[in-house]
Amino acid sequence: AVVLETKYLLVSQANGVGTIRLNRPQVLNALNLALMDELVRTLKEMERDEEIRCVLLTGGSRCFAAGADIDEMAEASSVEMLLKDQFAQWEYIRRFSKPLLAAVSGYALGGGCELAMACDMIIASETAEFGQPEIKLGVMPGAGGTQRLTRAVGKARAMEMVLTARSLSAREALAAGLINRIVPVELLEQEAREWAEEVAAQAPVAVRLAKQSVLKALDTPLETGLDYEQKLFFFLFSTEDQKEGMRAFKEKRRPRFQGK
């Protein structure tokens, strides 16, 4: 089990799902370095824990996260920002091998929106709001807000969001393809948990490679991507879970996946 002292996160695990709740409500879960460091350390533990097969990342009902901590950046120089090396934390999240599901209610702004987009799927409450308001602070997004956002919603919407700070409602975000689904705020936790458990019940090695392969599609030409996919597909035929999955289908029973 994952046991870590955390000041800004609430961490729990059950039924194959590790849950991380951003918990810095006084400042709308502003992502300071210490919080991000706790997040990465928790993910590292969850990466190693074989019981955990899917990670659910969430915040409060009023706010997922209102961005990077402005107090921490306001007086910084370029060199100080560079030396902080904060993007190493984001790079770790990008390379995390297990599925990451974000459950977003209320504000997901700036780094908060970027954090949700760094996850593999996003489930949102009706009150969710996604935006990249950095331009109003005299800067621009720095953790994927011009890249992942553009890939997800296209140039026209990304430009509008990044250049005018206009945010998307949950409904707009769904229509734009930024998020997977919307549920009423009071059902968000339960639906997100059920969804994460559904992912956690699949064959872990297949899930891991399938995640890698989908992400590969975002930055390779089709031929390279298809080749990559085929190699991973062949590889899965060396797992016991493939034999079990197909046998269970033939025997009309539920498979028992072992992660081997």
| Strand residue runs (E) in 7-152 | 9-14, 17-22, 54-58, 63-65, 100-104, 107-109, 121-125, 129-131
**Please, which of residues 40-99 interact with ligand HXC by CB under 6 A?**
66-71
Neighbours of 178 (CB within 10 A): 24
Q: Which is nearer to ligand HXC, 66 or 161 (CB)?
A: 66
* Residue 35 makes contact with ligand HXC by CB under 6 A: no
Instruction: Decide: 129 and 108 in contact? Cβ < 8 Å.
Output: yes
Q: Which of 17, 28, 108, 182 binds ligand HXC (CB under 6 A)?
A: 28
Instruction: Decide: 129 and 106 in contact? Cβ < 8 Å.
Output: yes
* CB of 115 vs ligand HXC, minimal distance in Å: 8
Per the listing, tokens 């390779």 go with 220
Q: Which residues does the annotation mark as catalytic?
A: 68, 111, 114, 134
**257: which 2 tokens?**
């996946």
* Residue 119 makes contact with ligand HXC by CB under 6 A: no
Q: Which is nearer to ligand HXC, 2 or 124 (CB)?
A: 124
Which residue has its beta carbon closest to ligand HXC? 110
Phi, psi (degrees; rounded to nearest 5) at 185: -55, -35
* Residue 143 makes contact with ligand HXC by CB under 6 A: yes
Q: Which of 96, 107, 195, 257 binds ligand HXC (CB under 6 A)?
A: 107
In angstroms, the CA 161 to CA 223 distance is 32
* CB of 68 vs ligand HXC, minimal distance in Å: 4
Q: Which is nearer to ligand HXC, 66 or 188 (CB)?
A: 66
Neighbours of 106 (CB within 10 A): 22
* CB of 130 vs ligand HXC, minimal distance in Å: 12
Residues that bind ligand HXC (CB under 6 A): 27-28, 30, 66-71, 107, 109-111, 114, 133-134, 137, 142-143
